[in-house]
Copies of this chain bind each other. A is one copy, B any other.
Amino acid sequence: MSTLTSREIQLKSRPEQLPSAENFELVEVPVPDLQAGEILVKNLFMSVDPYMRGRMRDVKSYADAWQLGEVMNGGAVGKVIASQSPDFSVGDYVCTGLGWREYSVSTIKGGYPQEIRKMDPALGPLSAFIGTLGMPGMTAYTGLKKIGEPKVGETLFVSAASGAVGAIVCQIGKILGCRVVGSAGSDEKVAWLKEEAGVDEAINYKTADDLQTAVAKACPDGIDVYFENVGGEHLVTALNLMNKFGRIILCGMISMYNEPVPGPQNLGIAIGQHLRLQGFIVTTYWEMYPQFLRDMGQWIGEGKIKWKETVVEGLENAPEAFIGLFRGENFGKMVVKLSDE
C-alpha cells in the first residue's frame, strides 16, 4: 500500500430540493497501489454539471445514481503521474469520469463517462476538456446537429445561452448560418453574448417585463429550432413562437431539477405546428467525438468559438460550486481547480 492519500467528496445524504453543503462530505482515503495495466492520475480540474443533480436521486437514470457514503464522480482533467499501462505515459494529460477527488486510479469503477481519453493540450487550455472541448461542447455540437438539424437562415433560440452548453450552441448556430437569439440571467451575460459570442439578439430573462414579448420581438420570424436547457416558462414561450416543423432539442431543464415546475400547458401547439421535441444524452452520440474535436479545434483556432469560465479553487469548495449552478452563479462553464500541475 502506498502512503499516498487522496481527499474526495462523498455523498452524505440526498437533498429534497436545492442541495446544500450538508449533503456532501469531504474525506481522506488511501490511494491503492497500481496493478498491471493501471494508471495513477492527479486531477487538475473537475467538472460540476447540472445533470449531476439527477445522480443525487436514488432512481435509475441514464447516469447511475451516486450511492450514499461513496465518492461521487464526474468529468475531470488530470495528468498521469504513474503508469503500469502500455497505453499511457507519465506526463500524459487525460480526461476521466473520476472527478470529485484528488487522485484516481484507472480501475476505480463508476466513472462517467467510463472511458479514459488522452487529450491534446494544443487544442485548447486544459480546463476546456471538461467544457468546450469536452462533454458540454459535445452536447452542444451533437444536440444541435443531430436533433436540431438547423438550416441556413433559420432562427435558433437558446436558453441558458451563456452557459457551458448554451454558449457553444449559439456560436455553432452562427457558424451554420442561423439567426441566433439567446436568453441569459444577467446584463453582463447578455452583453457578452452580443459582443463576444456574436449572437443576433440576447434577452435578460430576469429583467424582461414579459419573456414571451421579449422573445417574440427578438424573433420576428418565429423560432425554427429551440435548444432547451431550462424548462418552465422558457419552454412555454418557445412553444408559442415555434414555426411549423420546428424542432425542440430537449437537452436539460435546470429550472425543474430541484423543485416541481408546472409542465407546458400549451404542448398541444406541437400538433398543429408539426413540432418535434426530442431528448438526448450526449454519450449516445460519442462516436462523433473525433469529428467534434476536429471541428471544434479548428473553430477555436480560427477564433470562432469563445467561452467563459467560472473557476472555483479547491476540492473542498466543489459542493458550493455545484450548488451555485442552480443559482446561476456561474458565468459560462463552472470548473473546480484542484491543483496546479
A residues with a Cβ closer than 8 A to B are 54, 61-62, 231, 235-236, 250-253, 256, 260-281, 284
On chain B, the residues within 8 Å of A267 by CB distance are 231, 235, 250, 253, 263-264, 267, 277
Residue pair A252, B271 in contact (C-beta under 8 Å): yes
A252 to B272, CA, bound (A): 9
A274 to B276, CA, bound (A): 12
How close is A58's CB to chain B, nearest CB, in angstroms? 15
Residue pair A270, B275 in contact (C-beta under 8 Å): no
Supply 23 A–B pairs (Cβ within 8 Å), ascending by A. Answer: A62-B272, A235-B267, A250-B267, A250-B270, A250-B271, A251-B271, A253-B268, A256-B265, A262-B263, A262-B265, A263-B267, A267-B267, A269-B279, A270-B279, A271-B279, A271-B280, A273-B279, A274-B278, A274-B279, A275-B279, A276-B276, A276-B277, A278-B278
On chain B, the residues within 8 Å of A61 by CB distance are 272
A332 to B315, CA, bound (A): 63
10 further A-B contacts with Cβ under 8 Å, apart from A253-B267, A270-B278, are A62-B272, A261-B265, A262-B262, A262-B263, A263-B266, A264-B264, A270-B279, A272-B279, A272-B281, A274-B278
On chain B, the residues within 8 Å of A281 by CB distance are 271-272, 274
Residue pair A231, B268 in contact (C-beta under 8 Å): yes
A235 to B267, CA, bound (A): 11
A147 nearest in chain B by CB position: B276
A265 and B263 in contact, given A274-B281, A275-B278 (Cβ under 8 angstroms)? yes
How close is A206's CB to chain B, nearest CB, in angstroms? 22
A231 nearest in chain B by CB position: B268
A272 nearest in chain B by CB position: B62
A146 to B279, CA, bound (A): 19
How close is A283's CB to chain B, nearest CB, in angstroms? 11
Identify which of A235, A256, A265 gathers the most chain B CB atoms within 10 Å of its CB: A265
Identify which of A236, A261, A280, A284 gathers the most chain B CB atoms within 10 Å of its CB: A280
A228 nearest in chain B by CB position: B271
How close is A154's CB to chain B, nearest CB, in angstroms? 18
A277 nearest in chain B by CB position: B277
How close is A182's CB to chain B, nearest CB, in angstroms? 20
A251 to B268, CA, bound (A): 9
How close is A319's CB to chain B, nearest CB, in angstroms? 23
A278 and B279 in contact, given A250-B270, A272-B54 (Cβ under 8 angstroms)? no
Residue pair A265, B260 in contact (C-beta under 8 Å): yes
